[in-house]
């Protein structure tokens, strides 16, 4: 790709043009992830062609003394992963990833628990025996949360810019396990004891449901402020509200949704928020008001979702073995997840007594799991395109197979992360494919340009420059008011967010923006095409001379490279095609070529 170092003289007249450094969100690992062993501080080593593996580490091991950190275990795992990727000939962005889960709660350092501003209680998990009894710091206090924020500051400074680190778990508001919305009062036998101690702390420090809820929200804000490039996992069951009298619990779907929406809000973690459930079984459903239903809805909206399966169990009535694991992976793939965390000892011939973890069994298991891993990766689907013969193609991932041929022939197209595609063929004909495996439908009308946002908003421009939006309830196009244009000037391209904000360009290369309420305003700049992602956080444009521009909130910043067309999608995807019909993917601060295409649409 030809790299333009400066814009043409006409573009230098644009107001507010600056060259800026960009924060690039890493794509979340798609496929199967090894959840790791949770009894101590340790990391999974790459094996079995898995997408990623966890470093499960205790806070007390990485920061035994306040402000003194020991990251050796994670650093060693990163080095092993980088060597593994190098040996396989893949980049660290595309290859095996190291996931970080710092276990806090009862595994916090003594200096945190002994801080008088934090406080601690004796807390039981399953029963009152010695090995089920812990010192639990009061994680709902601001002092504890301040210490966690400092921990995240240091961790992010170490790993936020490291390509091979694929994600970090949010774990501030936890007890023993990192399902951060449950388990405050332990198992049923000890709930009343634990709640009594959690409440017997005086007004300033006692546990309340509201303080717990506020802890979860602050956790989101901390990760949003510290981790700018690395996705954060927010894994849980449904949020649980506790009865102060006996520690009993009630699940709250609405509260869970509120927290999930809070995490996904663009002013916080946005697309860096990866929501999940940490105990999926083969016999669960996603239409019963459970967290599975909520996560399915999130996945259908185009946001990344993961599941962690149940652990292997052989007790009567609750069996969970390899067959059940396959069923759980099948559920996750069907529900739109892009990754599944599988149990420890997935690679053992006898996973109950944890024996026979040989290379032969690893190979056998990987062969058995291959289909599920491929389906999870397919759920990620970074882009759709039309090749130089106008045939429609799909790119499922960056490191695996190339562009997969699909039926259809289009000149311009737009797609969503769920696989819906709208496009224009010859004679301005409009075509629609509802999902990845559905057939094409001819849509009445004629357009020269069409775009679809993740939640189904479809907008387009016809040959006369008139603007239309699809009324999907009534299967018809509705004309919309255009901005005030000069004589002979007409709209050429338009794109929209889920909320109804439009960006458009004209035949005079002028740029306009429309609010959700329908008010148009001129935006400084001279561009022939603009692309905006679903939530409006990414706006990219192409100038008449094929230079690339990115909206910085108040003006356009010049981005190195040259493209004739660009597309901003979910998951931080930005794709484009240059004048030689080479398709490019934005990889960090550089462009990576991925074949020959005529037009591309990021999912």
Residues 451-475 have a mean pLDDT of 92
- Residue 222 reports pLDDT greater than 50: yes
Residues 357-379 have a mean pLDDT of 90
Q: Which one is predicted more confidently, 383 or 398?
A: 383
For 122-172, the pLDDT digits (tens) are 999 999 999 999 999 999 999 999 999 999 999 999 999 999 999 999 999
User: Nearest-CA neighbor of 59 among 97, 99, 106, 98?
Assistant: 106
CA–CA separation, 389 and 164 (whole Å): 37
pLDDT of residue 281: 94
Residue 209: half-sphere exposure toward Cβ, Cα within 13 Å: 15
Structure tokens at 486: 């000069």
Model confidence band, residue 591 (pLDDT cutoffs 50, 70, 90): very high
Q: Which one is predicted more confidently, 368 or 21?
A: 368
pLDDT of residue 395: 78
Model confidence band, residue 459 (pLDDT cutoffs 50, 70, 90): very high
Long-range CB pairs of 498-502, under 8 A, 24+ apart, other chains included: 498/453, 498/454, 498/455, 498/457, 498/534, 498/535, 499/535, 499/536, 500/457, 501/532, 501/536, 502/459
Model confidence band, residue 5 (pLDDT cutoffs 50, 70, 90): very low
Q: Kindly give, in sequence order, each residue whose CB lies less than 8 Å from that of residue 504, ignoring residues fewer than 6 positions away.
A: 461, 467, 483, 491, 493, 494, 495, 511, 512, 513, 514, 530
DSSP symbols for 174-230: -SSSS-TTS-SS-SGGGHHHHHHHHHTT-TTT---HHHHHHHHHHHHHHHHHH-SSS
Residues 425-442 have a mean pLDDT of 85
Structure tokens at 221: 């804000």
User: Nearest-CA neighbor of 529 among 597, 476, 577?
Assistant: 577
- Percentage of the chain beyond pLDDT 70 is 93
Structure tokens at 196: 């009594």
- Residue 543 reports pLDDT greater than 50: yes
Confirm whether pTM is higher than 0.75.
no
Cβ pair 332, 26 in contact under 8 A: no
Q: Which one is predicted more confidently, 455 or 13?
A: 455
Residues 542-559 have a mean pLDDT of 97
For 261-315, the pLDDT digits (tens) are 999 887 898 878 999 998 899 999 999 999 999 999 888 766 789 999 999 998 7
SS3 276: strand
């Amino acid at each position: 790709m030809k790299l333009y170092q400066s814009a043409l003289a006409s573009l230098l007249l644009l107001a507010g043009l600056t060259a800026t450094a960009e924060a690039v969100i890493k794509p979340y690992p798609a496929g199967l992830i090894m959840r790791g062993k949770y009894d101590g501080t340790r990391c999974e080593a790459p094996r079995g062609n898995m997408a990623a593996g966890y470093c499960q580490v205790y806070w007390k091991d990485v920061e035994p003394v306040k402000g003194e950190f020991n990251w050796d275990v994670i650093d060693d795992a990163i080095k092993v992963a980088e060597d593994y990727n190098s040996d396989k000939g893949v980049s660290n962005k595309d290859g095996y990833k190291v996931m970080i889960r710092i276990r806090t709660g009862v595994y916090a350092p003594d200096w945190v628990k002994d801080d008088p501003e934090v406080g601690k209680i004796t807390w039981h998990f399953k029963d009152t025996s010695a090995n089920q009894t812990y010192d639990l710091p009061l994680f709902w206090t601001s002092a504890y949360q301040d210490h966690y924020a400092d921990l995240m500051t240091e961790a992010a400074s170490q790993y936020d810019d490291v390509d091979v680190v694929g994600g970090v778990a949010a774990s501030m508001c936890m007890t023993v396990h990192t399902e951060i919305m449950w388990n405050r009062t332990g198992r049923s036998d000890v709930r009343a004891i634990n709640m009594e101690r959690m409440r017997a702390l005086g007004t300033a420090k006692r546990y309340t449901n509201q303080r717990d809820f506020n802890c979860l929200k602050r956790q989101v804000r901390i990760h949003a402020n510290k981790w700018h490039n690395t996705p954060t996992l927010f894994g849980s069951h449904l949020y649980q509200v506790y009865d102060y009298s006996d520690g009993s619990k009630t699940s709250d779907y609405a509260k869970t949704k509120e927290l999930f929406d809070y995490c996904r809000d663009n002013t916080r973690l946005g697309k860096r928020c990866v929501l999940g459930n940490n105990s999926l079984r083969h016999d669960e459903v996603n239409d019963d008001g459970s967290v599975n239903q909520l996560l399915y809805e999130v996945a259908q909206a185009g946001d990344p979702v993961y599941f962690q399966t149940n652990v292997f169990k052989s007790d009567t009535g609750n069996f969970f073995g390899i067959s059940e694991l396959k069923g759980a992976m099948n559920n996750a793939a069907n529900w739109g997840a892009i990754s599944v965390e599988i149990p420890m000892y997935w690679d053992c011939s006898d996973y109950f007594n944890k024996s026979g973890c040989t290379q032969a069994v690893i190979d056998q298991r990987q062969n058995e799991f291959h289909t599920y891993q491929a389906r999870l990766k397919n759920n990620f689907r970074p882009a759709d395109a039309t090749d130089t013969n106008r045939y429609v193609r799909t790119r499922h991932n960056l490191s695996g197979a190339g562009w997969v041929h699909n039926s259809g022939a289009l000149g311009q197209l737009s797609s969503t992360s769920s696989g819906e595609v709208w496009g224009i063929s010859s004679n301005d004909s409009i075509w629609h494919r509802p999902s990845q495996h559905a057939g094409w439908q001819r849509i009445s009308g004629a357009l020269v340009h069409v775009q679809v946002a993740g939640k189904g908003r479809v907008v387009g421009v016809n040959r006369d420059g008139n603007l239309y939006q699809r009324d999907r309830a009534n299967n018809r196009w509705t004309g919309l008011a255009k901005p005030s244009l000069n004589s002979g000037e007409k709209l050429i391209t338009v794109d929209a967010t889920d909320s109804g904000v439009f960006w458009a360009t004209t035949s005079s290369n002028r740029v306009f923006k429309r609010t959700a309420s329908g008010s148009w305003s001129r935006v400084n700049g001279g561009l022939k095409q603009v692309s905006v992602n679903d939530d409006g956080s990414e706006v990219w444009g192409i100038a008449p001379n094929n230079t690339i521009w990115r909206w910085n909130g108040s003006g356009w910043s010049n981005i190195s490279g040259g493209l004739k067309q660009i597309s901003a999608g979910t998951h931080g995807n930005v794709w484009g095609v240059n004048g030689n019909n080479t398709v490019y993917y934005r990889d960090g601060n550089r462009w990576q070529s991925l074949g020959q295409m005529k037009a591309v649409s990021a999912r």
